[in-house]
Amino acid sequence: MNGKQLLLKDLLNRIGIEFNVLQELIGIVIERDDLVSSKNIERMYELVPKLKNEYHSDMFSCLHGNSLQKQRYPGVCMVRQMLKANGLLLKPKVVSMGYDKKTSKKLLRRIYVISELHEDEMMNAATATTEEEL
């Protein structure tokens, strides 16, 4: 594992996800509540100084000094951006849990699934980055 992968491992360990090889992450389900919990966000943001040594902060909004104030879900953004930098995607899923009989409201469960970043998506991301630099 290189330095970036070790930082990703440390980041995900802080929210209870352990792995040895990046391929083990594919198909892992992360509860949205784990990513928006203020306790987990604090633990993840303790890594920002180390992440800034490995990544450029102009490429990742989660590494900006004001990201906690500007972003609606900073934990989700950080995990999504770090996974994408390592060739993985964080895909949102909404699972219907039926209806509440008392209120007749639909019950939803929001989760994220880690999947592999395909070559065409990598090319689109690289093209977007190059166009921003121009």
String of DSSP letters for 62-114:
GGSTTHHHH-SSHHHHHHHHHHHHTTEEEEEEEEEEEE-TTT-PEEEEEEEEE
Tell whether the model's pLDDT for residue 126 goes beyond 60: no
- pLDDT, tens digit (0-9, with 9 covering 90-100), for 51-100: 989 888 788 888 888 888 899 999 999 999 999 999 999 999 999 999 99
Confidence label for 123 from pLDDT (cuts 50, 70 and 90): low
22: exposed, middle or buried (Cβ count in 10 Å: 0-12, 13-18, 19+): middle
Confidence label for 31 from pLDDT (cuts 50, 70 and 90): very high
pLDDT at 122: 59
pLDDT at 67: 87
pLDDT at 125: 58
- pLDDT, tens digit (0-9, with 9 covering 90-100), for 99-114: 999 999 999 999 999 9
Tell whether the model's pLDDT for residue 119 goes beyond 90: no
- pLDDT, tens digit (0-9, with 9 covering 90-100), for 44-62: 999 999 998 988 878 888 8
